[in-house]
Amino acid sequence: MRADRLVSLVLLLRQHGRLSAATLARELEVSTRTVLRDIEALSAAGVPVYAERGRHGGFALMPGFRTELTGLNPDEALALLVAGSRRGAQAFGLGSALASAMLKVVDALPESYRDTAAGAAERLLIDPETDLLSRRLVAEEVPDAVAAEVLRAVFAGHKLQIHYAAVDQPPEWRTVDPIGLVTVRDRGYLLATRSGADRTYRLSRILAAKELPEPAQRPDRVDLDRAWQERSTRFRTGGDQVAVLVRMHPARREDLVGTALAVLAEEADPDGWLRLELTFQDRRHAEWALWQLSTSAEALAPQWLRDSLRNRATTIATRYEASS
């Protein structure tokens, strides 16, 4: 909305002083012409913004122009800024709104707190895009139009139509009663019911969405954490999942547990190795997870997994045999 953009423009000038039209356009994700029109609108509304000519010129506010919000102490401001650095908002299509809100938080701080809170926030990094092995953690993209419709339906308590592409199925329209939204490792999920049955939809698979005027059939209050735990349990114990018994070196435990759906049992052998019973999504998932551990793990059961890993190892060994 233009009103939000005008506020963000003023806050950018408040925090950075003089900025060029090109810089403002880049920060606000609009054209330079739009920035110039916004500057004219602000001037007409009485906001003291002026242009400075020359090579290092740009736009600035008259000194002393600001609005101030009191009541936030440094720790409270830091908590807001750190929360704002998390990428969960991206999963719900709230990235631009979050950036705008953070500008307002910083600008609203009393002068004595602003530098302290902003400086401390720069020293905390939450969920970077890559891990220590430079593996990129890619957040799923959710179209803004889809996110906006889903959010409106969730907050308003209205039914929602979604064009959903389930795995290995053609997309189809479904009418659901939205309950809430959950983000896990940069993936957003819609918790809903359909014809009274619990359903969970990945936001990135919703191709289109439309809020309906009819009220959703849902309880007035919900414990999202409990609902998510219950659905997670059902997911781990249903479908084509397989149970696997593994003996492994303890140094690689987290590598395996991090890919499994659940750990059903665990004990230590006399030699220090661990014996774990785990579940995986399917046979392919189990074989892939064990293969990654090379000689640091041994699949004890089921037999088909031992056979599959042996056949794969034999094929690799044959391929790399020394030429005669």
Instruction: Find all residues with CB under 8 Å of 99, minimum gap 6, and list them.
Output: none
Backbone torsion region of residue 29, taken as left when φ is above 0, otherwise alpha when ψ lies between -120 and 50, otherwise beta = left
Q: How far is CA 195 from CA 69, 114, 204, in A?
A: 47, 51, 23
Q: Are 190 and 155 in contact (CB under 8 A)?
A: no
Distance CA 270, CA 205 (A): 47
Question: Could you give the CA distance from residue 203 to residue 206 in angstroms, rounded to a whole number?
Answer: 5
What are the structure tokens assigned to 42, written together?
A: 């602000």
pLDDT tens by residue, the chain, 324 residues: 566 677 788 878 887 788 888 888 888 888 888 888 888 888 877 778 888 776 777 888 887 665 544 445 555 555 555 555 555 555 566 666 666 666 666 666 666 656 666 665 566 555 666 666 666 666 677 888 898 899 889 988 999 999 999 877 899 999 999 999 888 766 788 999 998 888 999 998 999 999 999 999 998 888 888 888 888 777 766 667 889 999 999 999 988 988 888 898 999 999 999 999 999 888 988 999 999 999 999 999 999 999 999 999 999 999 888 665
Q: What is the pTM of this model?
A: 0.51
From residue 208, alpha-carbon distances to 197, 265, 298 in Å are 22, 42, 45
Cα separation, 300 vs 106, in Å, equals: 57
Residue 214's CB is within 10 A of a number of other CB atoms, namely 11
Asked if the peptide bond before residue 178 counts as cis, ω within 30 degrees of 0, the response is no
What counts of helices (H) and strands (E) characterise the chain? Answer: 12, 11
Tell which phi-psi region holds residue 46, choosing left (phi > 0), alpha (psi between -120 and 50) or beta. Answer: left
Long-range contacts of range 279-284, CB-CB < 8 Å, 24 or more positions apart?
Answer: 279/236, 279/237, 279/241, 279/242, 279/243, 279/244, 280/241, 280/242, 280/244, 281/239, 281/240, 281/241, 282/239, 282/240, 282/241, 282/242, 283/240, 283/242, 283/308
Paired strand residues for 301: 245
Residue 63: how many CB atoms within 10 A of its CB? Answer: 8
